Amino acid sequence: MDKHNPSQLSEIHRNALLEIARRSIEHGLEQGAPLPVAAGDYPAELQALRASFVTLMREDSLRGCIGHLEAQMPLLEDVAENAYSAAFRDPRFPPLSSAERKGLEIHISVLTPAEPLTFGSEEELIRKIRPSVDGLILVEGAHRGTFLPSVWESLPDTRSFLRHLKQKAGLPSDYWSESLEVHRYETESFS
């Protein structure tokens, strides 16, 4: 394992997280709240403080995506909270209905800790970005945006990826500043 991704999850742990996400969405439909999870009932790998994103797809279209960029709680609790939030709190979509359960796909991305990139120009930044590997966090004052590594599938060109990320952060696509911060992270994604 490399330093960016120190602990890959086993298939059993991945399946447990997918089940927690599914149950949290079901609990949300029935109770209007995320699934309460007792971290102590699960293996240490799922109790580790790690950040995650949960993406919901339906009929090949995004139906919700919510997550944390920094570890705030045990991974299994993070997944339960993010699954509920992706289904019911993503401001881009109405809350998930019972009828939408069928055909709902759950994708989980577990993040490595973000590390800052150092660069003196946009060209140097572009050379440091690793397409299809890096998720990026862009910060400029109050402006902030992130793209998971999975976004490379729809934006495979590094310049385009960066331009769209600037726009997501509320900045012009050609924006440049010496104070611009960019951090990178990797994900372990599964569904």
51-99 residue pLDDT tens: 999 999 999 999 999 999 999 999 999 999 999 999 999 999 999 999 9
Residue 138: CATH number of its domain: 3.30.1490.150
Whether 99 and 87 map to the same domain: the answer is yes
- 3 falls in which pLDDT band (50, 70, 90)? very low
Whether 87 and 73 map to the same domain: the answer is yes
**Which of these, 151, 147, 154, 141, lies nearest to 181 by C-alpha position?**
141
**Comparing 5-9, 43-47, 51-55, which segment has the lowest mean pLDDT?**
5-9
Average pLDDT score, the chain: 94
Q: Residue 4 falls within a domain, yes or no?
A: no
Interior CA angle at 80 toward 40 and 150, to 5°?
A: 125
Interior CA angle at 181 toward 189 and 139, to 5°?
A: 70
DSSP 60: T
Whether 127 and 86 map to the same domain: the answer is no
Distance (Å, whole) CA 69 – CA 131 = 19
Amino acid identity of residue 166, one-letter, is: K
- Looking up tokens 């890959």, which residue turns up? 8
Whether 6 shows a pLDDT value over 60: the answer reads no
**For residue 178, what are the domain limits?**
115-186
Identify the pLDDT of residue 4. Answer: 43
Identify the pLDDT of residue 23. Answer: 98
Identify the pLDDT of residue 2. Answer: 39
Q: Residue 1 falls within a domain, yes or no?
A: no
User: How many domains are there within the chain?
Assistant: 2
Whether 96 and 130 map to the same domain: the answer is no
Cα dihedral 81/18/50/77 (nearest 10): 30
Q: Residue 175 falls within a domain, yes or no?
A: yes
- 11 falls in which pLDDT band (50, 70, 90)? very high
Whether 138 and 157 map to the same domain: the answer is yes
Whether 80 and 15 map to the same domain: the answer is yes
Domain boundary among 86, 111, 136: 111
Whether 15 and 96 map to the same domain: the answer is yes
Whether 85 and 129 map to the same domain: the answer is no
Distance (Å, whole) CA 49 – CA 2 = 19
Answer whether 185's CB lies under 8 Å from 115's CB: yes
pLDDT digits (tens, 9 = 90+) for 96-110: 999 999 999 999 999
Q: Residue 178 falls within a domain, yes or no?
A: yes
* DSSP SS3 for 133: coil
Whether 183 shows a pLDDT value over 60: the answer reads yes
Whether 106 and 133 map to the same domain: the answer is no
Q: Residue 5 falls within a domain, yes or no?
A: no
Identify the pLDDT of residue 1. Answer: 33
Interior CA angle at 92 toward 59 and 147, to 5°?
A: 85
Answer whether 39's CB lies under 8 Å from 47's CB: yes
pLDDT digits (tens, 9 = 90+) for 100-156: 999 999 999 999 999 999 999 999 999 999 999 999 999 999 999 999 999 999 999
